[in-house]
Amino acid sequence: MNAMSTSAPSRRRAQRDLSTAPLLVAARGGRPSRVPVWFMRQAGRSLPEYRALREGVPMLQSCFDPEMLAEITLQPVRRHGVDAAILYSDIVVPPYAAGVGIEIVPGTGPVIAEPVRDAAAVAALPELAPEQVAPVAEGVRLLVERLGDTPLIGFAGAPFTLASYLIEGGPSRHFEHTKALMRSEPELWHTLADRLATMALTFLKVQLDAGADAVQLFDSWAGALSLREYREFVLPHSAKVLRGLAEYDVPRIHFGVGTGELLTAMREAGADVVGVDWRIPLDEAVRRLTADGSPAPAVQGNLDPALLGASWPVIEAEVRRIVAEGRAAAGHIFNLGHGVPPGTDPAVLTRVAELVHSLEP
């Protein structure tokens, strides 16, 4: 179903034999020994051990401390017994490392000192040199040593979502500046998105060179666009990132929220695994992804994070439904439809992971 070989692990990854790791088997469209499960934003504020470790340490500082980022990445693997670690990072880490003035303000999110809204600002955007994220590479090396047989998923924000932060100057509800620039100045948009694609590609290559076993490209806010806009203004740039990793022969997961209309296009960008939020069930996602005769895809997601605060019988029924519907896919990776809410009781996540593991793949 995809261009990856399952028989010839690259030299780089030969240090660990992960050929039967459920996450990688499912991502490649195979039949794993159990349904693999991990949670977006599993490393983070829902864990008391995370809050303790981060105390007094600014977010962006913690992302460049190899020991700290390794430990934070490991915490949910230890606690929940999930089938993957996801590199602890942030969408703005690459531009921050390259020298863009960015601060992550607790309760707000990333705040950009000088929003990027004109040709001069786009031209002034620095490139990311691999050395600028050397501490992340070192953290990945520590993780590969410590993770045993659990795969590590590399992390990067996709060009559209990253651009939206840089253009709006921070988190946004309506993406007014981003859409106005994209549509009114398409050449400038494409120049900016291409630079951000290069940045994301560099960041992911650093992680893969250091030993990451898969990647997830987060285009969290792509669902704010129509399919037409996505195809013209976003797909080529996300494709540059995902297709640019083909030589690494690792599974590429591609995710966004509210992307029911975009799933086929997001797969076309070069995804091996298509992320799905909670709005459409996995079997419906598979139906859409195969409507044009394409082979069945691997999919990931669908548990509504807002339901982690519901009663256990509700959560259990949802987990069972999702695992059943996931059987329509070539491979199914259990996950939420978006990140773990900060107020989540971590015991619920552990229980979800245990339930998923108890069910027939």
Q: Annotated catalytic, 88?
A: no
CA angle 78, 79, 81 (to 5 degrees): 70
Of 97, 40, 126, 124, give the one whose Cα is nearest residue 303: 40
164 is in an annotated binding site: no
Look at the chain and count its residues: 361
> How near is the Cβ of 311 to a second copy at its closest, in Å?
4
Going through the chain in order, the beta strands assigned E by DSSP cover 85-86, 102-105, 109-112, 152-157, 214-218, 252-255, 273-276, 298-301, 331-333
Q: Annotated catalytic, 28?
A: no
Q: Burial of 65 by CB count in 10 Å (0-12 exposed, 13-18 middle, 19+ buried)?
A: middle
Residue with tokens 């410590």: 146
Q: Annotated catalytic, 54?
A: yes
Find out whether 168 and 115 touch, Cβ atoms under 8 Å.
yes
> How near is the Cβ of 216 to a second copy at its closest, in Å?
21
184 binds a second copy (CB under 8 A): yes
Distances 211 to 68, 163, 192 between C-alpha atoms, Å:
18, 27, 29
Q: Which two tokens stand for residue 238?
A: 């996300």
Select from 74-82, 176-184, 327-335, 346-354 the region that touches a second copy (CB under 8 A).
176-184
11 binds a second copy (CB under 8 A): no
Q: Annotated catalytic, 41?
A: yes
> How near is the Cβ of 313 to a second copy at its closest, in Å?
8
Q: Which two tokens stand for residue 159?
A: 């060009």
Please identify which residue in 307, 324, 328, 348 interacts with a second copy, judged by CB under 8 A. 307
> How near is the Cβ of 174 to a second copy at its closest, in Å?
5
Find out whether 336 and 64 touch, Cβ atoms under 8 Å.
no
54 binds a second copy (CB under 8 A): no
310 binds a second copy (CB under 8 A): yes
Please identify which residue in 57, 260, 287, 345 interacts with a second copy, judged by CB under 8 A. 260
Select from 142-150, 195-203, 277-285, 290-298 the region that touches a second copy (CB under 8 A).
277-285
Please identify which residue in 29, 110, 256, 305 interacts with a second copy, judged by CB under 8 A. 305
Instruction: List b or e across 198-233, with b for residues whose CB sees 16 or more CB atoms inside 10 angstroms.
Output: bbbbbbbbbbbebbbbbbbbbbbbbbbbeeebbbbb
Residues 186-245 that bind a second copy (CB under 8 A): 223, 225-228
Q: Which is nearer to a second copy, 78 or 228 (CB)?
A: 228
320 binds a second copy (CB under 8 A): no
311 binds a second copy (CB under 8 A): yes
335: left (phi over 0), alpha (psi -120 to 50) or beta: beta
> How near is the Cβ of 172 to a second copy at its closest, in Å?
9
Please identify which residue in 39, 88, 96, 175 interacts with a second copy, judged by CB under 8 A. 175
> How near is the Cβ of 271 to a second copy at its closest, in Å?
20
41 is in an annotated binding site: yes
Please identify which residue in 119, 124, 129, 314 interacts with a second copy, judged by CB under 8 A. 314
Q: Which two tokens stand for residue 263?
A: 């799933």
33 is in an annotated binding site: no
109 binds a second copy (CB under 8 A): no
328 binds a second copy (CB under 8 A): no
Q: Annotated catalytic, 165?
A: yes
Find out whether 30 and 333 touch, Cβ atoms under 8 Å.
no
Distances 113 to 104, 124, 197 between C-alpha atoms, Å:
11, 14, 21
In angstroms, rounded to a whole number, what is the distance separating the alpha carbons of residues 350 and 261? 32
42 is in an annotated binding site: yes
Catalytic residues: 41, 45, 54, 90, 165
Residues forming the site for a second copy (CB under 8 A): 174-180, 183-184, 223, 225-228, 258, 260-261, 278-281, 304-307, 309-311, 314, 341, 343
Q: Which residues are annotated as a binding site for substrate?
A: 41-45, 90, 165, 220, 338
